[in-house]
Structure 1
Amino acid sequence: MDDSLITYLKNHAPNDAFEESDPVKASQDLFPTIAYTDSDKTEIAQWLITASHLGASGEDAAKAAERLSQLNTHLSSRTTLLGAKPSVADIAIYQKLAPLVAKWSAEERTGEQGYHHIVRHVDFVQNSPLFNLKLDDKVDVDVNNVVFKIKPIDAKAEKERKKKEKEAAAAAAVKAGGPTPTTLTGEQGAEGKKSKKDKVKDKAQAAGEAVASTVAGKAGPPEGAPTQKKEKKAKQPKPQKPAAVEKPLSPALIDLRVGHILKAEAHPNADSLYVSTIACGDAPGTDNTSEYEGQVVRTVCSGLNGLIPLAEMQNRKVVTVCNLKPVTMRGIKSCAMVLAASPKVVEGEDSHKGPVELVNPPADAKAGDRVFFEGWEGEPEAVLNPKKKIWETIQPGFTTTDALEVGFNVGEVPQLAGEGAEKKTGVAKLKTAAGICTVSTLKDAVVR
C-alpha cells in the first residue's frame, strides 16, 4: 500500500489497519470475519494498482475515461470490488474517486453515458457501517436525482424466457423420437381410463398375436407382456479438454502495432477528445472494425485535443494498442489506443498542461506491422482480460531514454524482474522489423 492510503486509513478507518503495509493483512484487520481466498488476495493487489492509476495526476482524459468505464462495468453486478466481500481495495478506490465524483455533474453521474455504478459504490462505502469510515466530508449523492434510469432485469420476463427454453428442449426431444414426461403421463393416463372389458380384449389380442408369431417361426413374448429390461451400457466418461495454458506475464501480451491515421476530427461530445480513423492491418470482418476508403479501420478516441494540433493528427503513422477491451467514450466506441509520451508530473502540478508527443514508428514501417520490446518477443493475447489488469501492471514500465528511444524499464515492474542470476535489468527498446520507435524531444518521459 502507498503512503497516502496508509495515512488515509490512519485518519478514517477503524481497527488500526494502517499499521499493516500488506493490503491483505490490512483487509483482515478491517474485516476479521471475512475469509479471503488466494484469488481474492490477488484481486485486492490488482485493484490497488488500479486505484493508484485513477489517482495519478499524469493520466490523460481518454485513458482516465477508459479506466472509469471498465470500473463502472465491473461494479454493475457487484456490491464491492470482490463481489460481496469488503476489502481495503474498496477504500482505496473510494479515496481516489470521492473528490472526482463530488465534482461530477448529474449527467456525468447518472446520464445515459454516466457512471451510475461508481456513484453507487462511493455512496455505499462512505455510508455503510460495514466500512465504518470516520468522514467529516462525504460526497453529496441524491439517490432521487437520476438523469437516465438503467432498465432493471424483469424477473417475470426472465422466468418466461427460461420456461420457453425448457419447452423448446422438450419439443426437440419429441422430434428426435424420445419420450418426454408429458407424453409418458398421457399414455399412462389413457391406459388407466380403459374399462375391464377393454383390458380383457387387449390380453386376448396379445395372446392371439403370440400364437401367430410362433407358427411363423418368430416365437417371442406377446406384445404387452412383461419383458426383461435391457441392461444399460455404462457411459464412458467424456475426455476432458485440457486446461488452457495461461501465458506468463510479459509486455508481449500487449498487441502493439503500427497504425496509419487516415483522418482525425474533434469529438462532437467531448472537448478533450479526438476521434481518429486508423488502419491497423486488420483482416476484413475483424470484430470492432469498419471500412473507410477501401481499408479496414478502427475508430479510436484519444484525449489529445488541446495537447496536439489536429493538423498533426492527419495522415501519419503512430503506435497503437489493439487488444484492450473496446470502450464507449461519450457515445463513440473506441477500439484501440494511441501511444503518446508526456513528462513525469510532480504531485500538485497540472497533469494536462503538456507537452505531449506521439510515439513515432520507423519511417519505413507499414500499418499493421508488429511492434515489440526487444527481448520480450511472443504472441499477444486476443483481448486483454480487464480483471487480470495486464495493461495496468505492464504500462508503468513504458518510458523514453536520453537517446529519445521508447523502451520498457523492467525495474518499474518488479513482477517481471526475477531474482538471482536470472534477474532482468535495463531498458528494452521498442521496435518493429524496420527499426526503433522514438519520440521527438521528451527524455525520461511516461509513455501511455
Structure 2
Amino acid sequence: MASSTLDESVINFLKSHAPNDAFAETDPIKASQALFPTATYTDAEKTEISQWVITSSHLASASEDAAKSAERLSTLNTHLSSRTTLLGGKPSVADVALYQKIAPMVSKWSAEEKTGEQGYHHIVRHVDFVQNSPIFGLKLDNKVPVELDKVVFKIKPIDAKAEKERKKKEKEAAAANAAATGAATPTTLSNDQPPEGGKKSKKEKVKDAAQAAGEAIASTATGKASGPPDGAPTKKKEKKEKQPKAPKAAPVEKPLSPALIDLRVGHILKATTHPNADSLYVSTIACGDPPGTDNTSEYEGQVVRTVCSGLNGLIPLAEMQNRKIVAVCNLKPVTMRGIKSCAMVLAASPRIAEGDDPHKGPVELVDPPQDAPAGARVFFEGWEGEPEAVLNPKKKVWEMIQPGFLTTEGLEAGFDVGAVPQLAEGGKSGVAKLKTEGGVCLVKSLKGGTIR
C-alpha cells in the first residue's frame, strides 16, 4: 500500500473548515475514517486515497512546468468524467486534499479554461460538489464561483460502459500489435544467415524482418503458411453430416398484469442532492438483493442500489433519510446526468388536468408497513404472481400498467383495473390494494391521486 501523510496545509484546512476532528490525524486513511465515520474502505481504496493525496500535492506544486501540469490536470479531468468522487461514489479525505490544493487555481481560471470545449469541466464539477455537498459539510467563507448559466461548451455525459469498452478495445489492439511486432523478427520469420565472416547491419536486419513478416502474412493469406508443397496430392477431408438442430422452444409470454412489475420494500440508507441536476436526489437504497446482483454495490455492509429521483424541491431532503419506501426494481437502469439509476421510488401526486405542469406538487412517498423488511414483496391484492427479471422497454409494460396506480379516499395505494383498457377487456374490475404480507401501503394525505 502506498504510504503518505497529510501535509500541514491540508491539516490546517481540515482544522478550520471540516465539521469534526479529522485534522488530528496525519494518516489519510485514519483521517478519512474520522471525517466519514460511516464509510468503509477496501485495501484497494485505501491505496488509492494515499495515491491521490500525493497527486494533489503535485498538482499545486509551483515547481511543476506548464506541460507537466497540463498533463496532470487532463488526466484528473478524465478520471472524474465518470466519477462523483475520486474513489467513484465514496467520499474520502483525498477529495478534501484535492479541493484545498486546486480550488485557488480553479478560481483564477477563465471561463474557457473552466467550461470551454477543451476546458476542465469535470474538475470544476468536483470542486463545486466538494464545497457545497452536505456529505463533506465544509464551512467555507469563500467558495470557487461556478456559474451554471455561463457554461461555454456543453459536453455530453460520458457513458461509463462505453468508455470501459473503448479502453478494452485499445488494449486488445495494442496487444495484437505487440504480438505481430514480436513475431516479425529475423530469427523467427527468416532462415537467411548473415554473410560468412561478418554480421548483418541493423538496417539489414530490419529490412529482412519486414520482408520475412510480409512473406509470412502473404503465405498465411493464400493458405501456404504450412503443409505440403505446391502440386502435391492432397487428401480431402470427409465432411461430417450435419445433424439438424432441435428448434428452440419459444419463451412463454406472460399475460399482461401488474404482477409483472417487481415492487419491493426499499430502505433509503442515505440521500443526497445530485451533483449535476438541481431537480434530482441520489439515494442509496437497500432492496433485499443478494450479493453480486447486477447494478448493485455495497454500503455499510448492505447490498444497495443507487436511485435517482426527481423529488428535489418536492420532498425535503430530510424526509428522504433512513426511511422505508416502495421501489420498482425491474425497470431497465438509466443514466441520469452521469449517474446510473437502478430502480424507481413510488410517489403520489394529485391528478394533473390537461395543460397543467406535470411536475408540480404536492408529492408524497408511498409508505409500506413500517415493520416490513427491505426486499419484502409488494403486490396488488388479487394480482399475485412472479415479476419479470427486467421489463422489456419495447413492450411498454410499465407505461400500460402505471395509469392504474392510484390513492383511494381511505389514503390506501391501489390499482384500478378500469384505467388499463387491455385488462378491463378481460372482465376484471374494481380497485386492488397495494400491500405486503404485513399490511396495506398508504400515503399521508393525498386522496384520489396518481402514483408514479
TM-score by length of 2: 0.51
Mapping 1:221-260, distance limit 5 Å: 232-260=239-267
Q: Distance in 2 between matches of 1:289 and 1:188?
A: 53
- Give the letter aligned to residue 387 of structure 1: K
1:275 to 2:279 alignment = no
Match of 1:398? 405
Seq. identity, % = 71
* Partner SS, residue 277 of structure 1: strand
CA drift at 1:326: 1.0
CA drift at 1:187: 6.2
CA drift at 1:305: 1.1
* Partner SS, residue 229 of structure 2: helix
* Partner SS, residue 400 of structure 2: helix
Match of 2:450? 446
* Partner SS, residue 435 of structure 2: strand
CA drift at 1:347: 2.1
Decide whether aligned partners of structure 1 residues 341 and 187 sit closer, same or farther in structure 2, where only a CA change above 3 A counts: closer
Mapping 1:312-327, distance limit 5 Å: 312-327=319-334
Structure 1 counterpart of 2:371, from 352, 364, 369: 364
Match of 2:302? 295
Q: Deviations over 1:117-165 (max 9, x none)?
A: xxxxxxxxxxxxxxxxxxxxxxxxxxxx9844799999xx99x98xx8x
* Partner SS, residue 442 of structure 2: coil
Q: Deviations over 1:273-293 (max 9, x none)?
A: 111111000011111111111
Q: Distance in 2 between matches of 1:265 and 1:362?
A: 24
Q: Distance in 2 between matches of 1:301 and 1:379?
A: 26
Mapping 1:43-442, distance limit 5 Å: 147-148=154-155, 185=224, 190-192=229-231, 232-419=239-426, 423-442=427-446
Q: Distance in 1 between matches of 2:362 and 2:233?
A: 93
Match of 1:176? none
Q: Deviations over 1:177-232 (max 9, x none)?
A: xxx9868545677233xxxxxxxxxxxxxxxxxxxxxxxxxxxxxxx9998x7865
8 A contact 2:157–2:338 mirrored in 1? no
Q: Distance in 1 between matches of 2:423 and 2:234?
A: 72
Q: Deviations over 1:55-96 (max 9, x none)?
A: xxxxxxxxxxxxxxxxxxxxxxxxxxxxxxxxxxxxxxxxxx
Decide whether aligned partners of structure 1 residues 432 and 149 sit closer, same or farther in structure 2, where only a CA change above 3 A counts: closer
* Partner SS, residue 190 of structure 1: coil
Match of 2:27? none
Q: Distance in 1 between matches of 2:325 and 2:234?
A: 80
Decide whether aligned partners of structure 1 residues 190 and 234 sit closer, same or farther in structure 2, where only a CA change above 3 A counts: closer
* Partner SS, residue 422 of structure 2: helix
Q: Distance in 1 between matches of 2:448 and 2:440?
A: 16
CA drift at 1:349: 2.9
Q: Distance in 2 between matches of 1:263 and 1:328?
A: 19
Q: Distance in 2 between matches of 1:418 and 1:264?
A: 42
Q: Distance in 2 between matches of 1:352 and 1:226?
A: 76
Decide whether aligned partners of structure 1 residues 147 and 445 sit closer, same or farther in structure 2, where only a CA change above 3 A counts: same
Q: Distance in 2 between matches of 1:361 and 1:186?
A: 70
Decide whether aligned partners of structure 1 residues 289 and 226 sit closer, same or farther in structure 2, where only a CA change above 3 A counts: closer
CA RMSD across the alignment: 3.6
TM-score by length of 1: 0.51
Q: Distance in 1 between matches of 2:303 and 2:156?
A: 36
Q: Distance in 2 between matches of 1:364 and 1:149?
A: 43
Decide whether aligned partners of structure 1 residues 376 and 234 sit closer, same or farther in structure 2, where only a CA change above 3 A counts: same
- Give the letter aligned to residue 283 of structure 1: P
* Partner SS, residue 311 of structure 1: helix
CA drift at 1:233: 4.8
Match of 2:136? none
CA drift at 1:332: 1.3
Decide whether aligned partners of structure 1 residues 446 and 188 sit closer, same or farther in structure 2, where only a CA change above 3 A counts: same
**Greater length-normalized contact order (CA 8 Å, ≥ 6 residues apart):** 1
Match of 1:102? none
CA drift at 1:361: 0.2
Q: Distance in 1 between matches of 2:415 and 2:336?
A: 28
Decide whether aligned partners of structure 1 residues 375 and 190 sit closer, same or farther in structure 2, where only a CA change above 3 A counts: same
Q: Distance in 2 between matches of 1:310 and 1:146?
A: 31
Q: Distance in 2 between matches of 1:233 and 1:188?
A: 22
Match of 1:100? none
Decide whether aligned partners of structure 1 residues 189 and 147 sit closer, same or farther in structure 2, where only a CA change above 3 A counts: farther
* Partner SS, residue 230 of structure 2: helix
* Partner SS, residue 392 of structure 1: helix
Decide whether aligned partners of structure 1 residues 411 and 266 sit closer, same or farther in structure 2, where only a CA change above 3 A counts: same
Alignment length (residue pairs): 256
Decide whether aligned partners of structure 1 residues 261 and 250 sit closer, same or farther in structure 2, where only a CA change above 3 A counts: same
Decide whether aligned partners of structure 1 residues 231 and 364 sit closer, same or farther in structure 2, where only a CA change above 3 A counts: same
Decide whether aligned partners of structure 1 residues 332 and 182 sit closer, same or farther in structure 2, where only a CA change above 3 A counts: closer
User: Which shows bigger deviation, 238-247 or 286-295?
Assistant: 238-247
* Partner SS, residue 361 of structure 1: coil
CA drift at 1:327: 1.1
